Amino acid sequence: MANIDRRHVLTGSLGSLALGWVAPSAFAGNPLSGPPATAWAALDARMTGSVVLPTNSAYTTAKQLYNPRWDSKLPLAVVKPLNVADVQQAMTFSADNNLIVAPRSGGHCYVGSSTGDDVMVLDLRGIKAVKLNSTKTKATIGAGAGLYNVHVALNKVGRTIPTGTCPTVGTAGLTLGGGIGPEVRGKGATCDRLVSATCVLADGRKVIASATQNADLFWALRGGGGAQIAVVTDLTYLTHATTDLGQFRLSYPVSAAAKVIAAWAAYSQSSHNTTKVTLSLNANPTKTAFMVRMHGVTAPGDQDVDCNALHAMVGVPYLKRETKVDTYMNTVLEIANGDPTPPRRDFTAGSDVLSSVTAASATALIDVVSEGIRRKVNFQTLIGPLTGQLQAVSATATAFPYRNHAALIQWFCPLPVGSSTAYAAARSWIGYAHTRMGSMSAGGFVNYVEPGRTSSDYFGPNLARLRSIKASYDPGNRLQGSLEY
């Protein structure tokens, strides 16, 4: 195989991408033939797991991500390790053959970075064990374990960790980007519960990252997702007890949108930390208007009090009100839209982070969703708080930079599979959203990485340190991520 200078590729033909989003094929340079089949067969023989080549009947399925938009990508191979030793074998092989590696935890990256043309995909979904220590206060979880299965395993002994809501997202991918979910106000981000991680470096060495071992790498793993520094194989977290959870839902007429946004923002700053309310401004099924809804997750017994308090702050009649208490796992499943294994779907998305929610930013939000209706875009606008325990950690204590901010906006557009017209319309609308939010936006959230944005948009003042750590642990730049530091 030709020996390609990756730094030449990144700083030459890809100069415009080198400090921001990188397409899944960008790291590979010119098409590569890769190692011979006999070399791949030898790697397969050394592993407990397997190597899937393009000639294998399982290849088409093995290379798929959650989003079928990336099905056209043709990796050299999909390597499927089952343990840390397998990962070491694979990474040593990639180093010996000068391959670019695309690690995959759950396969949900918004820009398809866990695949690509002429890369070696390292699919970690076979490393999925969930183990607790004797006191059940710590859980060690395989990088490829899906979030719903993690909750099922931990809930059997009455424990859990804070996670996101999509049931098949991989644990490592979520954590490396920070991890924002229903318990963020009460327990902080997923990465805030991380105690240590087992990693394999680009040259095949195994290391432990923690507060006392490879502390710089540990810092980067907590929120520095979007570009790979090391392959994480398992992660150890502090757990907490599960309880039943309260929920409430409120919906309002479009005419009340500004008042709802203002009330939501004030409530998210002032309410006790155990309640998280998500505000959604979504297109209705006919794309003729947007819907104004709030969904709260509370401690059991708080749902009615919190719902009433928030409604009083809105100050206009609601269209619908619901409250309930349910078990922890029923709530997890409900928030996942009732399906622990959702089918693949085509989509595109983006994000903006607000330092504060003002009358001006509320007006901008309403303008953006109104423009989405005018353009007949199928969109969901999900606005979550970045308050509570998330702010108990310094903005420089981990790579996750949003510790003094008010809100995270996700612009999400479901798409017909393979439609270039719908994709272009959705990207145009998301671009309009960024322009309209303007200087009110502090940047984007790396777990919602999107085309056309720079690394500084996602990491702000933490970017310089991330670049230094990346250069130290992966000097050859062989680990592919969705952002190039």
Q: For 6-123, CATH number? A: 3.30.43.10
Euclidean distance between CA atoms 210 and 197, whole angstroms: 7
Type of residue numbered 329: M
Structure tokens at 144: 């490829």
Domain boundaries, the chain: 6-123, 130-242, 245-450
Alpha carbon separation from 100 to 50, 53, 118, 122 (Å, rounded): 18, 16, 8, 10
454, with CB counted inside 10 A (0-12, 13-18, 19+), is middle
Euclidean distance between CA atoms 253 and 276, whole angstroms: 22
Indicate the pairing of strand 120-123 with strand 77-80.
Answer: parallel
* Cβ pair 447, 177 in contact under 8 A: yes
Non-local (6+) Cβ contacts of 284 within 8 A are: 290, 291
Which candidate, 81, 84, 79, places its Cα nearest to that of 102? 79
Q: Which residue is it, tokens 């009110």?
A: 440
* Cβ pair 239, 154 in contact under 8 A: yes
Type of residue numbered 146: G
- pLDDT (tens, 9 = 90+) of the chain, 485 residues, equals 333 222 222 222 223 333 566 666 554 433 457 999 999 999 999 999 999 999 999 999 999 999 999 999 999 999 999 999 999 999 999 999 999 999 999 999 999 999 999 999 999 999 999 999 999 999 999 999 999 999 999 999 999 999 999 999 999 999 999 999 999 999 999 999 999 999 999 999 999 999 999 999 999 999 999 668 999 999 999 999 999 999 999 999 999 999 999 999 999 998 777 899 999 999 999 999 999 999 999 999 999 999 999 999 999 999 999 999 999 999 999 999 999 999 999 999 999 999 999 999 999 999 999 999 999 999 999 999 999 999 999 999 999 999 999 999 999 999 999 999 999 999 999 999 999 999 999 999 999 999 999 999 999 999 999 999 999 999 999 999 888 77
Residue 392: DSSP 8-state = G
| CA-CA-CA-CA dihedral for 74, 58, 176, 293, to nearest 10 | 100
Q: For 130-242, CATH number? A: 3.30.465.10
pTM for the model stands at 0.93
Regarding the domain delimited by 245-450, which CATH topology (the fold level of the hierarchy) does it fall under? Answer: Vanillyl-alcohol Oxidase; Chain A, domain 3 (3.40.462)
- As a whole number of Å, the end-to-end CA separation of the chain is 27
Q: 3-class SS at 244?
A: coil
